[in-house]
Chains A and B, each alone.
Chain A
Amino acid sequence: MDLVRDLLDKRVVDRHGREMGRVDRLVLECGEHSAPRVVAFQIGPDALAGRVAPWFGRLVSGVERVFKVDEGRPVRIALADVLSIEDDVKVDVAFGETAAATIERALRRWVGSLPFSS
């Protein structure tokens, strides 16, 4: 597998097909005598921003802390939880049970309070 072409930046969906985000950063494990291998990937704006520039990642993390939506973020998905990698990366978790849903949940409280929102 070509990690950059086939995994990085791909859409991630949960076991119900709900959008979770994208593969924003890969987590590699480097053994002393073995080649590095991918063990997980991360989802979240701080992971993505950190890929663009480390200071940018720290800035986004700081903003998340200010708004108190930083707990459990960026979301780490172990490769063992990946069900399939085809058009999308399907993972064996539920969107609502992960911190990937934190901001959506926080905003939904505001959006859902307005008339005709559902």
Chain B
Amino acid sequence: MGAIVDLVLGVVTSIGGFVEVGSISTAAQAGSEFGYQLIWAIAIATAMLAMLTEMSGRLAAVSRRTVAAAVRERFGIHFQLVPLTAELLIDTLLITAEIGGAAIAIKLLTDVGFEWWLLPLALLIWMLLWLSGFAVIEYGLGLLGLITLAFVISAWQLHPDVTDIGRSFLPTTPNHHYTRYAFLAVSIVGATISPYLLNFFSSGAIEEKLTESKLWVNTATAYLGMCFGGVVSMGVLVTSAMVLQPRHILVDSYEQAALMFVPVFGRYAIPLFAGALGIGCFGAAVELTVNTGYTFSQVFNWTWGANKPRRDCARFVTAFTLVLLMALAVALIGFDPLRLTMLSVALTVVIMPLVVLPFLVLMNDRKYVKEHTSGVIANGVLAMLTIVGGILAVVVIPLEMFGG
């Protein structure tokens, strides 16, 4: 019975926690510019993310090591230094972008400039991390995040052509703006397969004391949670395609993206969009921040844990506090949240091969996963993802320059 509760809670909160600043902005832009045509990118990226999160959980449950810890041990600091530094830099930028997204959500509700909400939001994130355990961080925010299902309801109410959507699961070439199309496809992949999620998921498995006997819960949570989460992302794209594209509204700010809810929700459109954006971004900012503490602590083997008294893991607390302060400093210097999001997403793609490659080795090393090694199909898909990731890493910067 306990395992079923874990499963349901895990799946529901994965759905609620799936959509954040990156997925909303990339899916909204894709829908407004190319209709349903980029649904395939969300589908592929979601499937990849589900596979990687399942592996992260399996690695943690069997080896009692998170991804960051296992990579340090298996590959050494020389290998880890580049992706680790890049990941922490991207995480800092993403925290800034997520705080910005949440601040814009409050601006939509209050009409007070988003800059005024940056400091209170950062303080709220820190206080939440200071006062709560892992369950509140993961499940509490995930449950609140179910408000993002408004995107699915909106898409459903707009009665899209199901055949057209079905056809969009296969990649097709666009009629216009090839570079922009390619850039958005790559960005969707970068926004979906966010490296922090993998370490956060494996850290969660350790925090929640996931054991080998409950690996099926991990598998079901990863695949069901992520796939339903992907449906929410598709909801953003479909709503944007049906509402914004016919009116030639391009999403170059979150305020414009909010208009996508007007036909279905009428006068509740702005509060609902603000709620979905705000909670999605706030939840992601909290997870990103605590994950930086996890990463530092696991790489150096300091005492860590969101369920531990804070004075017993002072370096863990200090690490995430400093990263949050850096993110706040970037935010206060002045930035465009949407542009920063797209930059962070592009940088994520650059380091993707270095994030994916270790899984190919770790998930076949019996020292870490015992008899739970990956099968031929999973290895094949991972190898393909590493190669494709390598190609994307090379093309993403030119694409950002010419199509971003």
Contact = CB atoms under 8 A, between A and B. Distances in A.
A87 B73 CA distance: 11
Given A11-B301, A21-B300, A112 B69 contact: no
B317 interface: yes
Label chain A's interface by main secondary structure.
Answer: mixed
Contact of A19 (B64, B76, B302, B318): B302
14 contacts: A4-B76, A8-B76, A10-B73, A11-B69, A18-B303, A21-B301, A22-B301, A48-B77, A51-B78, A104-B315, A107-B314, A107-B317, A112-B314, A116-B310
A48 B72 CA distance: 12
Contact of B300 (A22, A87, A114, A117): A22
Nearest to A13: B301
B131 interface: yes
A9 B73 contact: yes
Interface in B315-365: 315, 317-318
Given A21-B300, A107-B318, A118 B72 contact: no
Nearest to B302: A19
B314 A52 contact: no
Nearest to A44: B300
A52 B78 contact: yes
Contacts of A11: 69, 73, 301
A103 B303 CA distance: 12
A73 B346 CA distance: 40
A66 B8 CA distance: 51
A2 to B, nearest CB: 12
B156 interface: no
Contacts, number: 63
Contacts of A58: none
Contact of B309 (A18, A104, A118): A118
> How many of chain A's residues touch chain B, expressed as a range?
20 to 34
B303 A108 contact: no
Contacts of A12: 301
Nearest to A4: B76
B73 A111 contact: no
Contacts of A87: 64
A19 B303 contact: yes
Nearest to A8: B76
Contacts of B78: 51-52
B116 interface: no
Contacts of B131: 116
